[in-house]
Structure 1
């Protein structure tokens, strides 16, 4: 947990929550902060299994997964390939498009492209390709502010994703061991589920299960599951979508979902009658699946 990414603080909360749950279920658990010499610390503490609670670069992008495989230590969650793909929003979009999974229309930009004109109706959403927790994301409602938003996103990642804003409501669905959990609707005052809402204040309302009819609920759940399969994810995954009237678009995939007091995966699991401690134990059971 911890690490050096922009999401370090969130990771520490996630890691401590998971460790407490494991200890309460009589599992011998210790925390290791990867900001230090974590390899030596893991060997010194004789770690048998790594429960990855890192968010952002270095922890959610396949890096730590590859290192743990070299150390022959089983770990929770998705493997190197799935982690790297899901962390890169542009590559995720390309794969989902190829698989026929609905996402919003988009263009991508790299170094040297930032001043190019785009042929898309406004509003659009501008995102760094390889950041999480809505870091560096902005909604652009008019052409005059687009270039600033692109350059702001590029401060976090030289590769920038620009996609059409999807009208409707925001939903998320957890996937646990290849099975979809309950659909959660996220209701916010400003219509944007940003960093502060995710980890500080929480949304104005979480509706679990989401107020969708059975057909729409199954559509969201099946789309989440197809998305997870397309990226070869394993363990616990969270798929975020947005839309209305049966027209749902996948926004992003999180291979290491947050496990803080306001996090969505625990809410999705709770909607299926799975409490926090049981969720953590189920995630632990998946250790080693990602490297297969």
Structure 2
């Protein structure tokens, strides 16, 4: 097949996307496919039209590659593409819309509220500790944990560096103490299967952007050494979120587990519809755990896109 791999772009996750995209392209070439690598610019539609691929592998992270914009363009061009479609992407990139969609289906998520960043200089929106995050960024970009002992001030000082200086509005959530877990799901909305539960143990701080993409800063335990009922619950919640949102290709659901409260302490934080495909990424790692190589994983995602990924 002729596969165009979309990567790069101009989001805060550009560097990660380039690593993902080049890894995918190398794997496809090793399988004998013809590959066109496209570092997405404003001329992306013209470059895709010129390439005329059989399918597009969407290796973009963040906006506009993960928020429905590129998906809508590909739909209009009649190109098949990997990962979730327009409507799913619009909802899943927005953490508040994701809550609105999943919580009514019985999926436990932290209660949250949208706050104006300017209001944080007058008072805390929630009792400390709490988390502030942009509503539509991935890879923990712009996440801040506000604690009693933190150096942001009380209330947050105008001179304190944090997401309030870069985003007009933020999502505030109670901080869920405990352990960081994640589950990848592979396949379409109706036939998606969970791969494994991984526990993430940052060597310092929390699982932020640097911890995710710097070798040696986070220990991955796959499968997670947790009680069977917690693992089963995490797997089931990830599959249900994948199905309810209408994901396809792959998704990755991130959790916090407060072990003092058993199953009631397991909370889904967010669903990533285009998880990373870098050497440190979690989806390839979980695929290896079930005996699937990186190249086999890439081929599986492409095959699904050819079977049902938009109109061609």
Residue 16 of structure 2, aligned match among 10, 29, 38: 10
Deviation at 1:228, TM superposition (A): 1.3
Aligned 8 A contact 1:233 1:290 in 2: no
Residue 226 of structure 1, aligned match among 237, 240, 252: 240
Asked if 1:158 is matched to 2:158, the reply is no
Deviation at 1:102, TM superposition (A): 0.6
| 2:3 corresponding residue in structure 1 | none
| 2:4 corresponding residue in structure 1 | none
Aligned 8 A contact 1:128 1:157 in 2: yes
Gaps of 5+ in 2: 1-6
Deviation at 1:117, TM superposition (A): 4.2
| Pairwise CA RMSD | 2.1
SS at match of 1:126: strand
Aligned length: 292
Deviation at 1:200, TM superposition (A): 1.9
Deviates more, 1:109-118 or 1:251-260: 109-118
**Structure 1 62/154 Cα, relative in aligned 2: closer, same or farther at 3 Å?**
farther
| 2:272 corresponding residue in structure 1 | 254
**Structure 1 270/93 Cα, relative in aligned 2: closer, same or farther at 3 Å?**
same
Q: Following the alignment from structure 1 to structure 2, what is the Cα–Cα distance between the partners of residues 148 and 137?
A: 17
Q: Following the alignment from structure 2 to structure 1, what is the Cα–Cα distance between the partners of residues 155 and 298?
A: 43
Listed as ranges, the matches of 1:38-117 within 5 Å are 38-110=44-116, 114=120, 117=123
Q: Following the alignment from structure 2 to structure 1, what is the Cα–Cα distance between the partners of residues 121 and 310?
A: 41
**Structure 1 169/275 Cα, relative in aligned 2: closer, same or farther at 3 Å?**
same
Deviation at 1:36, TM superposition (A): 4.4
Deviation at 1:230, TM superposition (A): 2.1
| TM-score normalised to structure 1 length | 0.93
| TM-score normalised to structure 2 length | 0.87
Deviation at 1:167, TM superposition (A): 1.1
Gaps of 5+ in 1: none
